Amino acid sequence: MPPAVRVAFDAFPAPARTGCLALRALILETAAQMPEIGRIAEELRWGEPAYLTPETKSGSTIRLGVPKSGGYALFVHCRTTLIADFREIAPPDWRFDGTRAVLFDTAHPPRPEPLALLIRAALTYHRKAPS
C-alpha cells in the first residue's frame, strides 16, 4: 500500500477503517481475477483511497471513504450508471447515496458476493464492446 494511502486509511475512525480495509481487499481480490483490466493503481482522489485501471483505462474510479452520515462507503463516479444498475440486483436492505455510493453500517458488514458484481462492473465500465 502506498504510504499516502496508508495515512488516509489511518485517518478513518477505527470501525470505518476496518470496513474500508475489507472493501480494499475485495477490490484487489476481484481485480486479480480480471487480467484483462491490467494493473490496479492505488492512489488518493479527494484525499481518499482510490482504485483505477491506468494501463487499460477500462474502469471507472472506485473510492473508499467515510460519508457524513457515518459508517463507510464505496464511491463511484456519479455520472456513470453503476449505482443505478447495481440497485436493481443489490440486496433490498442496502443503502445508497444517490448515484455515487453504496453506504455501509460498521455494525453490519456487507456480503462480498453482491458487492463484487459492482466492483467488476466499475473495473470494466469503459471497456469497449467487440465490433
At 124 the pLDDT is 92
Domain boundaries, the chain: 3-123
Average of per-residue pLDDT across 29-40? 94
Q: What is the pLDDT of residues 54-105, one digit of tens each?
A: 998 999 999 999 998 889 999 998 888 899 999 998 888 889 998 899 999 9
- What is the DSSP-derived secondary structure letter of residue 65? E
Cell 456487507 sits on residue: 110
Q: Model-level pTM?
A: 0.91
Q: What is the mean pLDDT of the chain?
A: 91
Architecture per CATH, 3-123: Alpha-Beta Complex (3.90)
